[in-house]
Amino acid sequence: MTLHSFDPWPWFVTGPVISIVMVTLLLIGKRFGLSSNLRTLCSVAGAGKFAEYFRFDWRSQTWNLVFVAGTIAGGAIAKGLMLKPEGVALNPETANALKAMGIEDAGTAYAPSLLFGADAWNHPLSLLLLVVGGVLVGFGTRWANGCTSGHAISGLSSLQWPSLIAVVGFFTGGLFVSSFILPTLLPLL
């Protein structure tokens, strides 16, 4: 087997494998939800001293941290050994729009070097974007009690209204940022 010889997987492979992951977790008595790990990690770090929310039996959730450790190893194997080095074959409309905002490697890279490559460390605004975006991800997923795995996939799969409302929220926030914030922010990076 040659290194870096695999094409990216199409949606009709990726989607069903995600279903299989969710189902496998359910069948071994666990459940599929990534954002609850953020609460667990805060509790492990001692946040229970400050807020009731973090005072729970976090030891019962450490299985999910093992799952996360596996995902990190999976990312290393897929990106480091399997995937062809070519970038993401974006729709040229997205690529051109992002290039016009100063993201030069749109359409040729896997992720923008201005945000995720070595370049990012020289751009304070890139680092700020990552921190602020992260804060919104943490605050929002805990407020909504779930993220893409808990609401969009597990929740919609079990036909729950709250999850549909949450997904409407995900898109409201995402569309707002991609339409109004990023076009102003990205050229400044």
In the region spanning residues 59 to 98, those forming contacts with another protein, defined by CB under 8 A, are 63, 66-80, 82-83, 87-88, 90-91, 93-95, 97-98
Minimum Å gap between C-beta 8 and another protein is: 5
Of the residues 3, 100, 136, 188, which one makes contact with another protein according to CB under 8 A: 136
Burial class (CB in 10 A: 0-12, 13-18, 19+), 99: middle
Q: Is 124 in the site for another protein (CB under 8 A)?
A: no
If one asks whether residue 154 binds another protein (CB under 8 A), the answer comes out as yes
14-33 positions binding another protein, by CB under 8 A: 14-31, 33
Residue 26 corresponds to which tokens in the numbers above? 């359910």
Does 189 participate in binding another protein (rule CB under 8 A)? no
Q: Of 111, 90, 114, whose CA–CA distance to 101 is shortest?
A: 114
Q: How far is the CB of 155 from another protein (least distance, A)?
A: 6
Quote the least distance from Cβ 66 to another protein, whole Å.
5
Among 3, 5, 13, 100, binds another protein (CB under 8 A): 13
Q: 102-123 burial, b if ≥16 CB within 10 A, otherwise e?
A: ebebbbebeebebbeeeebeee
Q: Does 182 bind another protein (CB under 8 A)?
A: yes
Task: Please identify which residue in the block is written with the tokens 């991800």.
Answer: 137
CB of 124 to another protein, least distance (A): 11
Q: Which is nearer to another protein, 111 or 188 (CB)?
A: 111
181 binds another protein (CB under 8 A): yes
CB of 171 to another protein, least distance (A): 6
Minimum CB distance to another protein, residue 5 (Å): 12
